[in-house]
Amino acid sequence: MLYTSRTPLSSVPPSAAPPLPDFCSLNFRRRGLTQGEGAIISESEMSAPPHDHSAQQVLTGLAKIGLALKVHAWQTSGPQGLTPTQGQILTLLQARAPRALNEVASELGVGAATVSEAVTTLVRKRLVQKTRAPHDRRQLVLLLTARGRRVATRIAGWPDFLLHAIHLLSGEERGVLLRTLVKIIRTLQERRQIPVARMCVTCRFFRPNVYPGSERPHHCAFVDAPFGDHELRLECRDHQPADLPAAAAQWAAFCGRSPPESDLAPS
């Protein structure tokens, strides 16, 4: 569905619409961002020109899209009497449940206390219930109630307003965009700056560029089928993380280069 809003950005509360950051002041290396333990980012990937004009414009564009997403999250969750965090929790549980509280916190990239507070409210609203995990009766997990499933369905389409713009791109442009997003997310993931995503490029079943020159150059060993850049997944429920050497080799093959020895060195 296409979500259309008549609410101007200026009417959104300050907490929902923070000012754009000063991207010209960003300098990742000067701010001390280094490789985390077990990271597979090469030194060349860690360094970037601090004043590259095109990079700054990309950052500005991503920030504008992020701001629009946050605004629409408020506009969609608000009429349901929910905060965006509460709405995201319902959406996560609708996609896959049961989930433990710490798993939800990890997926959202927020603290356990924040999720605990939001879940308490959702339980009070009878949208979420806590129950014992089937595999471990000592652990509490979260499930949607029947009412929670109905509300989750209503708010699940809040990002759909962006689909119209995406659909105006050609198939080739969408493939390039998706491949670019994979690279950005993977870099942020290796720097511990974003929740871990279950992406193709970090999965042990991923075989990149095994069919060079084809529209579907990659292969998924899980389903035993080829696929192209436009079919890359950022979240896959069948994802199984590759070990460090395999992940480094897969990434190098995906990028069309040989893995540096430093990437393959044990952590």
Q: Return the number of other C-beta atoms located less than 10 Å from residue 104's C-beta.
A: 23
Residue 9: inside a domain, yes or no? no
Q: Return the number of other C-beta atoms located less than 10 Å from residue 144's C-beta.
A: 22
Residue 236: inside a domain, yes or no? yes
Q: How much is the pLDDT for 239?
A: 92
For residue 95, report the phi and psi dihedrals to the nearest 5 degrees.
Answer: -70, -40
Q: Return the number of other C-beta atoms located less than 10 Å from residue 84's C-beta.
A: 22
Domain boundary (134, 168, 202) is at 168
Residue 4: inside a domain, yes or no? no
Q: Are 163 and 61 contained in the same domain?
A: yes
Number of domains in the chain: 2
Beta strands in 42-199 (DSSP E): 99-100, 128-133, 136-144
Token match 């997003």: residue?
181
Residue 125: inside a domain, yes or no? yes
Which range of residues forms the domain containing residue 248? 170-264
Q: How much is the pLDDT for 51?
A: 63
The pLDDT profile of the chain, 267 residues, written as one tens digit per residue, is 333 333 444 444 444 444 434 333 333 333 333 344 344 445 454 455 556 888 889 889 988 988 888 888 787 777 778 888 898 899 889 888 888 888 888 888 888 899 999 999 999 999 999 998 877 778 889 999 999 999 988 887 767 788 888 999 998 899 999 999 999 999 888 888 888 788 999 999 999 999 998 999 999 999 999 999 999 998 888 999 999 999 999 999 999 865 444 444 333
Give strand pairing partners of 218: 227
- pTM listed for this prediction: 0.60
Residue 260: inside a domain, yes or no? yes
Q: How much is the pLDDT for 145?
A: 94
> Which residue type sits at 138?
R
Q: How much is the pLDDT for 15?
A: 43
Cβ-proximal residues to 33 (8 Å cutoff; 6+ apart), any chain: 46, 191, 193
Each residue of 175-192: b (16+ CB within 10 Å) or e?
A: beebbeebeebbeebbbe
What is the DSSP secondary structure assignment for residue 209, as one 8-state letter?
A: T
Domain boundary (168, 201, 234) is at 168
Residue 13: inside a domain, yes or no? no
